[in-house]
Structure 1
Amino acid sequence: MLNNLQEILSFHYVYPLPLNKFHILMKSIESTQNLIETSPAQLAKILAISTKNAGDILSKYQQVLKINLLDVYNSSSIKAIPYTSDFYPKDLYDLIDPPTILYAKGNISLLKEPRKIAIIGSRKATNYSSLAMEYIVPPLVEQKIVIVSGLAKGADSLAHRAAIQYGGKTIAVLGHGFSHIYPRENKELACEIARNHLLLTEYPPYVGVQKWQFPMRNRIISGISNAIVVTEASLKSGTLITTEHALEHGKDIFVVPGPIQKEQSKGTNSLLREGAIPISDGYQIIEELKLF
């Protein structure tokens, strides 16, 4: 299968297929070089979409193909990491729907670091999460463990800031393209991470903020991490989607036990009943993972 990076980037820009569907497409047409000759009816049948939609995709693809996207991305300090790249995290292949391309801003060598731990929790995190970060993050940073989170309000922001404050490295996985930063109040934090750490997304730069994309983002947070730490979460928290992904792939879930009367502890305490590992500091995580 001969695939040209420019062709993959162009098609992904127009129609960002996950890798499982991209493989189905390539199995049918053999190479991205044959996309230009693929008919709307043929593409529609392969991807199970309408012929009109397929025609629009192919028309836009031909237009985008004339643009050197690598130059465009480079000029915006965006690195495109296709599934064939050495920097593409191999654990993502275990997902049902791995990203075909990852887009990165910052230090992509962090993706090669063997030890990465996600710290996540409620967007309505209380001071309890702030306190938890003081106990959890410094020991992990001491061991050169990269802190992964999702740049959301609350626990995610606290995790990124704690990693930076204690001299560690952090990866923020976004649920949208780089032309948008959400939430807006994290723009300065995102710029700091892009300069000295790593911003990561599966979406081309123009893709805006859509609610359904954040659960998709969570599978990448889980996928690139060795384990998940949850500080606070309500029973209906999106955090629990991330832990489900992690459990499906045999990863440890560490939980900070919370006060039984607090709404933000109901999800975490539920995880403990289901077998998550209770922790009160980062040293316990290191011991459990036998990282010494």
Structure 2
Amino acid sequence: MTRQRLPEALWLLALHETKGIGWHRLYGLIKIVSERRIPYSRLFELTEQEWTALGAEPKSAAAASRLNIAQAFERAEQLRKLGIEPISFYDDEYPTLMKETAKPPWLLYTIGRRELLNEFGIAIVGTRTPTSYGRVVCERIAGALAERGICLVSGMARGIDGYAHRETLKRGGTTIAVLGAGVDVPYPPEHRQLHREIAEQGLLVSEFPPGTRPVPGLFPLRNRIIAGLCRGVLIVEAAQRSGSLITADYALECNRDVFAVPGPVTSPKSAGTFELIKNGAKPCASAEDILEAYGDCFAPLPQSAAKKEGHEKLTKEERKIYVILEQGDASIDELQRKTSWEFGLLHSVLLSLIIKSQVKSLSGAIYTWIG
């Protein structure tokens, strides 16, 4: 909400915090105001009878007639003193992309850098219990996107969300955390420090009034905001019934790009992403796969830096592959024979190295070291 405290923005804040007035009732009132061309200056003056005559539902008419502009202004100032800035659908700062969605939040509570709401954003979401492979992929892609100046959007949940936020901050990037609780409520509790860091360096966002405790029904609503703020959504790891797939569904409804990281077919954590790819999501093995989808908007990856970083982050298993491929290209059968690994492990290590831009797969299932 801008500092001049527009009456229409104050009106939305007051209604948004009125018990029993949800998204649909608010939409009904907003529609009346728009279609009947009611001057914003009169929003706090209309009586219950006037609202009813205009077509408002009885409960909505009663609630709207009880609003007081002085109390709404006082509430807005109270929030500001707490470091919380409410941004209404009527404000200039309201994210443009969000207005394109089917069910935009009428009000967003924010802490931090509000200008990020209209930055070029990509969401990274995934399971709360990722594999080591999922974590490596998440951090690598999030870090590379941060270095290109892309704003990372996620939900500050355990697992993939948290890793994506932290890696972005570590690389000096910008990030938005969309919460399934009040913007002032760190959740999960172990992310209290992360919550503080994002408030200082990025942006915390919530549709729910401050103090709202997290309950399961709020997270799907949160997911639609994650999708709405971004140009594209990347799912790193997701089981077949993962909540991350809800975000992907919202992204498709919003006409956003959906990317998914391929994983080992033996991993339950990759069952959801496999299904997404099968249904048309774009496979994503590196940040380049995302950047290429948006043309020449971004500079190419700094290859020397990427290679150096890749060598530093090799696991024990990846170094074993490096020792073999340093002597020359090898087929997957040769690699399996020389490592004595099960196929699932070998496939996982090779896929991780491909994502790290250390190994390239050639025709005939031949692998070559390019790092």
Q: State the TM-score bracket (shorter-chain normalisation).
A: 0.7 to 0.9
Residue 242 of structure 1 pairs with residue 251 of structure 2: no
Q: Is the 8 A contact 1:6 1:68 kept in 2?
A: no
RMSD: 2.7
Aligned positions, number: 287
State the Cα distance separating 1:39 from its structure 2 match: 2.2
For residue 131 of structure 1, what is the amino acid of its counterpart?
A: V
Report Cα offsets for 1:232-274 as digits up to 9, x if no partner. Answer: 0011111111111111232221111111122111100000101
Higher relative contact order (CA 8 A, sep 6+): 1
For residue 287 of structure 2, what is the amino acid of its counterpart?
A: G
Q: Is the 8 A contact 2:181 2:218 kept in 1?
A: yes
In the alignment, which residue of structure 2 is the partner of 1:180? 185
Distance 2:49 2:214 in 1: 29
Residue 69 of structure 1 pairs with residue 75 of structure 2: yes
Can you give the 5+ residue segments of structure 1 that lack an aligned partner in the other structure?
A: none
Q: Name the SS for the 2:187 alignment partner.
A: coil
For residue 7 of structure 1, what is the amino acid of its counterpart?
A: W
In the alignment, which residue of structure 1 is the partner of 2:87? 81
Distance 1:17 1:234 in 2: 30
Residue 11 of structure 1 pairs with residue 19 of structure 2: no
Select 1:122's aligned residue among 123, 127, 132. Answer: 127
Give the percent of matched residue pairs that are identical in Structure 1 and Structure 2: 34
Shifted more, 63-72 versus 5-14: the winner is 63-72
Distance 1:162 1:201 in 2: 22
Distance 1:220-1:172 versus aligned 2 partners, 3 A rule: same
In the alignment, which residue of structure 1 is the partner of 2:263? 258
State the Cα distance separating 1:132 from its structure 2 match: 0.4
Distance 1:8-1:165 versus aligned 2 partners, 3 A rule: same
State the Cα distance separating 1:38 from its structure 2 match: 3.2
Q: Is the 8 A contact 1:28 1:46 kept in 2?
A: no
State the Cα distance separating 1:43 from its structure 2 match: 5.9
In the alignment, which residue of structure 2 is the partner of 1:142? 147
For residue 31 of structure 2, what is the amino acid of its counterpart?
A: I
State the Cα distance separating 1:37 from its structure 2 match: 3.9
Residue 210 of structure 1 pairs with residue 215 of structure 2: yes
Distance 1:47 1:96 in 2: 21
State the Cα distance separating 1:62 from its structure 2 match: 4.5
In the alignment, which residue of structure 1 is the partner of 2:368? none
In the alignment, which residue of structure 2 is the partner of 1:21? 28
Q: Is the 8 A contact 1:118 1:148 kept in 2?
A: yes
- TM-score of the aligned structures, taking structure 1 as reference length: 0.87
In the alignment, which residue of structure 2 is the partner of 1:132? 137
Distance 2:134 2:225 in 1: 22
Distance 1:188-1:54 versus aligned 2 partners, 3 A rule: farther
Can you give the 5+ residue segments of structure 2 that lack an aligned partner in the other structure?
A: 1-5, 299-371
Bigger Rg, which one: 2
Distance 1:63 1:82 in 2: 15
Q: Is the 8 A contact 2:46 2:65 kept in 1?
A: no
State the Cα distance separating 1:20 from its structure 2 match: 3.4
Distance 1:145-1:220 versus aligned 2 partners, 3 A rule: same
For residue 102 of structure 2, what is the amino acid of its counterpart?
A: I
Distance 1:188-1:44 versus aligned 2 partners, 3 A rule: farther
In the alignment, which residue of structure 2 is the partner of 1:200? 205
Report Cα offsets for 1:6-44 as digits up to 9, x if no partner. Answer: 333222222453663342352469356345543289569
- TM-score of the aligned structures, taking structure 2 as reference length: 0.70
